[in-house]
Amino acid sequence: MVTFRIDAQRHRQALLKAAREVFLLHGITAPLELVISRSGLGRATLYRHFPDRASLALAVGSQSLDSLAVLVETGNGSASLQDIFDHLVRSLTANPFLADVWRVASSRTEEARQLIDRFCAVFEAPIRQAIAEGTCRPDLKPSDMFLVMAMLGSSIREPDSEARHRMIERMRELIGEGLWPRPLS
């Protein structure tokens, strides 16, 4: 029985790795056959773990959120909201398909709501800390960061990598103007 669980975990991870690779090359609307082929597993294994494209996309989103959560947790309060925002920008720049994954998360399924709640929870303590330190807008809410991420995601459609990086950097600056306090002049 333990072997099955280890195999099931290994299969799930192989499917998620394959999905990230396929989504990076072809977007989240790529044929799931490509994920199956790249994983080296069968169709039944894919659907046993992920009954549909949305659940696969949400699982990929959950993994990307794990790295953000690790940054917050391992920082023991030292990871500033700016650091977390910059990590989010880098993640979206390196993995443009994540914008589509998070768009799927905007659906009204329970699984999607849980992922959005988890996304917002990652930002609760850093936002509280930033507000207390006066390093962000006093009315900033964790749910605003989901909106920020969606705005950033809209700029990553550019297929040319250099142009995409320039666009995202500019978007980061513009959005940052709305998040961080302005110096008094």
CATH number at residue 39: 1.10.10
The pLDDT of residue 77 is: 60
- Helices and strands, number each (H, E), in the chain: 9, 0
Q: Is the pLDDT of residue 56 over 80?
A: yes
| Measured CA distances, 2 to 5, 7, 46, 124 (Å) | 5, 9, 20, 37
Measured CA to CA, the distance from residue 18 to residue 40 in angstroms comes to 9
| Cα 86 from chain centre | 13
The pLDDT of residue 131 is: 94
Whether 5 and 82 map to the same domain: the answer is: no
Q: Is the pLDDT of residue 106 over 80?
A: no
Measured CA to CA, the distance from residue 27 to residue 121 in angstroms comes to 27
Whether 97 and 64 map to the same domain: the answer is: yes
Whether 138 and 176 map to the same domain: the answer is: yes
If one counts the domains in the chain, the total is 2
The pLDDT of residue 62 is: 93
For residue range 134-161, list pLDDT tens digits in order: 999 999 999 999 888 888 887 777 778 7
pLDDT level of residue 122 (50, 70, 90 thresholds)? very high
Measured CA to CA, the distance from residue 56 to residue 46 in angstroms comes to 9
**Residue-range definition of the domain harbouring residue 28:** 1-51
* Residue 59: CATH number of its domain: 1.10.357.10
Whether 61 and 45 map to the same domain: the answer is: no
Q: Which residue in 48, 49, 57 sits closest to 20, CA to CA?
A: 57
pLDDT level of residue 107 (50, 70, 90 thresholds)? confident
At residue 78, φ and ψ (nearest 5 deg) are -85, -20
Q: Exposed, middle or buried: residue 183 (CB in 10 Å: 0-12, 13-18, 19+)? A: exposed
Mean pLDDT of 47-56: 94
Average pLDDT of the chain is: 87
pTM over 0.85, yes/no: no
Tokens 């990553």, residue located? 156
Mean pLDDT of 36-63: 95
